[in-house]
Amino acid sequence: MHANLIAQANAWLAEDPDAETRDELAKLIDAGDVTELAERFRGTLQFGTAGLRGELGAGPMRMNRAVVIRAAAGLAAYLKKNGHTDGTGTVVIGYDARHKSADFARDTAAVMIGAGLKAAVLPRPLPTPVLAFAIRHLGAIAGVEVTASHNPPRDNGYKVYLGDGSQIVPPADAEIAAEIDAVNSLHDVPRPDTGWETLDEGVLDAYLARTDAVLAPNSPRTARTVYTAMHGVGKDVLLAAFARAGFPAPVLVAEQAEPDPDFPTVAFPNPEEPGAMDLAFAQARATDPDLIIANDPDADRCAAAVKDRTQGGSWRMLRGDEVGSLLAAHLVRRGARGTFAESIVSSSLLGRIAEKAGLPYEETLTGFKWIARVEGLRYGYEEALGYCVDPDGVRDKDGITAALLITELASELKAEGRDLLDLLDDLAVEHGLHATDQLSVRVEDLTVIADAMRRLREQPPTALAGLAVTNAEDLTEGTAKLPPTDGLRYTLDGARVIVRPSGTEPKLKCYLEVVVPVAAHADLPAARAQAAETLATIKRDLSAAAGI
């Protein structure tokens, strides 16, 4: 068995085009580290609807140039099988500032040229929404973004978009995966040193020109902000968008302003993670802005934080569902028409806002690859800080335009002597208090997630927090409106729970929502206390049922 493993590793080593990972793998072979080699060669990093994402390193279970070249070759073969055989189709490629991102982008471009397609690479590390915009702007047949979004520093990833500007969904993912599997040797994949186009600033200028369209003409632009790029690529584009819009220049969190693939000030470069916003809060305490804005490292997500007068003026993050509802209410107030959409794990408040406004509403599976495909989409959001506010420009979540829109809303409320929390209170009185929370368990061993899902399927809870489970759905079977997915949904009397494995991280995620009717503003404190207690008890009961 060990001899076979060493043979596999040596075969991989012979093809690896990267001196760094060749050296890494050679050291493991020379040391006879069969435990680590077995981990690296226990399979291949699977290509799915999230593309590829994983830890950097040598071997087929890691993100590296060999894996990326195979993925690019599979994508090229898929595109050619689907009619792009005349050499005129362009694949546009973007990348972030993580370790190896530029290398992976260059390899992808080379593979496309070698396959007889055209390739165009964005001029430098830029936000993911710029790539999503560029696909349709340039009339490309596909796009690739090299990014691991908000994953830890050791990770990288590979997102694939088709010509409609949205991420792949089944069956395209399985068809591309089959083409990747059909790549025998990297020596059979032509990779010329030249031939692709490096785009100029024109594509970014065109993206920035569209950002103006998300704002109402002559709207107030007075809100003062603190901004953190979370060591990612958002700063320059966001500052340019804010300057074009006429907002005051954001005060930067200097320690996190420039791209740094090691993310030195945060444990996880995700605004939702504990501690990630601490430096932004400190900057806000020093400068007293109206709002804090944060992007994740590839700037497709947007977080907002506000000063909470009920908590002694301390700063707190708004939940993704709160921002999602605020943006929806803002667009309704501006007279937006079209379909409002969200994923099933997001708050049901959006549906109530849309219904009251007489607007169509749709629920989709998790991920903007589904939200972006909703017919007639005007606005879509997901609780994980993702918002699509200009679907005609970017059919994906966009942390830059979302930042503009939430800052416009803060400005309008400021002109009225109000703030975002006042509007959230109004929404709670009008539609009921929709309180959400998440039970998220990060694991080293993925069998922990599988075991938890199995337990819940074999013995589904009949009650949580004393609320009867009125409907238990196994979403692997699909529903009348949803394709199959690995998830469980429990409907309770006044609450809802969804449990699913994360598609991008080794996490089990449980999404909780409690709805408490509110008769008047004076009833809000009691309603919030009731909701918080119920959410905490649901968490406890669900943890016990899942064995996590």
Same domain membership, residue 175 and residue 250:
no
Given a contact cutoff of 8 angstroms between Cβ atoms, the answer to whether 288 and 275 are in contact is no
Q: Which domain range does residue 23 map to?
A: 2-204
Task: Let me know if residue 394 belongs to a domain.
Answer: yes
Task: Let me know if residue 127 belongs to a domain.
Answer: yes
pLDDT exceeds cutoff 60 at 103: yes
Given a contact cutoff of 8 angstroms between Cβ atoms, the answer to whether 192 and 113 are in contact is yes
What does the pLDDT average to over 220-242?
A: 98
Q: Could you give the number of structural domains in the chain?
A: 3
Instruction: Quick: pLDDT tens for 347-399.
Output: 999 999 999 999 999 999 999 999 999 999 999 999 999 999 999 999 999 99
Q: Which of 402, 429, 456 is the last residue of a domain?
A: 429
What does the pLDDT average to over 112-122?
A: 97
pLDDT exceeds cutoff 90 at 3: no
Same domain membership, residue 420 and residue 436:
no
Q: What is the pLDDT of residue 427?
A: 98
pLDDT class of 222 with cuts at 50, 70, 90: very high
What does the pLDDT average to over 258-278?
A: 95
Same domain membership, residue 411 and residue 285:
yes
DSSP letters along 376-428, please? TEEEEEETTTEEES-TTT-SS--HHHHHHHHHHHHHHHHHTT--HHHHHHHHH
Q: Which of 204, 239, 271 is the last residue of a domain?
A: 204
Known catalytic residue at 346? no
Same domain membership, residue 516 and residue 394:
no
Is the whole model's pTM more than 0.85, yes or no?
yes
Same domain membership, residue 173 and residue 64:
yes
Same domain membership, residue 225 and residue 194:
no
Same domain membership, residue 229 and residue 98:
no
In angstroms, what CA-CA distances link 17 with 105, 189, 226?
Answer: 14, 12, 43
- For 177, residues 6+ apart whose C-beta sits below 8 A from its C-beta are 46, 47, 48, 74
- Mutual orientation of helices 399-415 and 235-245 as an angle, nearest 10°? 40
Task: Let me know if residue 395 belongs to a domain.
Answer: yes
Same domain membership, residue 444 and residue 380:
no
pLDDT exceeds cutoff 60 at 1: no
pLDDT class of 446 with cuts at 50, 70, 90: confident
pLDDT class of 506 with cuts at 50, 70, 90: confident
Same domain membership, residue 384 and residue 297:
yes
Same domain membership, residue 282 and residue 342:
yes
Given a contact cutoff of 8 angstroms between Cβ atoms, the answer to whether 390 and 213 are in contact is yes
How far the first Cα of the chain sits from its last, in Å, is 35
Task: Let me know if residue 210 belongs to a domain.
Answer: no
For 149: left if phi > 0, alpha if psi spans -120 to 50, otherwise beta; the answer is left
Same domain membership, residue 255 and residue 191:
no
Task: Let me know if residue 173 belongs to a domain.
Answer: yes
What does the pLDDT average to over 187-192?
A: 96
Q: Return the HEC string of 26-47.
A: HHHHHCCCHHHHHHHCCCCCCC
Q: Residue 272 maps to which CATH number?
A: 3.40.120.10
Task: Let me know if residue 28 belongs to a domain.
Answer: yes
DSSP state letter for 318: P
Q: Which of 382, 407, 429 is the last residue of a domain?
A: 429
Q: What percent of the chain has pLDDT over 90?
A: 91
Instruction: Quick: pLDDT tens for 33-90.
Output: 999 999 999 999 999 877 999 999 999 999 999 999 999 999 999 999 998 888 889 9
Same domain membership, residue 416 and residue 493:
no
What does the pLDDT average to over 237-252?
A: 98
Task: Let me know if residue 214 belongs to a domain.
Answer: no
Q: How far apart are CA 135 and CA 125, in angstroms?
A: 16
Instruction: Quick: pLDDT tens for 409-432.
Output: 999 999 999 999 999 999 999 999
Q: Residue 438 maps to which CATH number?
A: 3.30.310.50
Instruction: Quick: pLDDT tens for 147-161.
Output: 999 999 999 999 999
Q: What is the pLDDT of residue 525?
A: 96
Q: What is the pLDDT of residue 547?
A: 86
pLDDT class of 279 with cuts at 50, 70, 90: very high
Task: Let me know if residue 209 belongs to a domain.
Answer: no
Q: What is the pLDDT of residue 441?
A: 87
Which of 149, 347, 348, 411 is labelled catalytic?
149
In the predicted model, what is the mean pLDDT of the chain? 95
Scanning the structure block, which residue is given the tokens 């400190």? 282
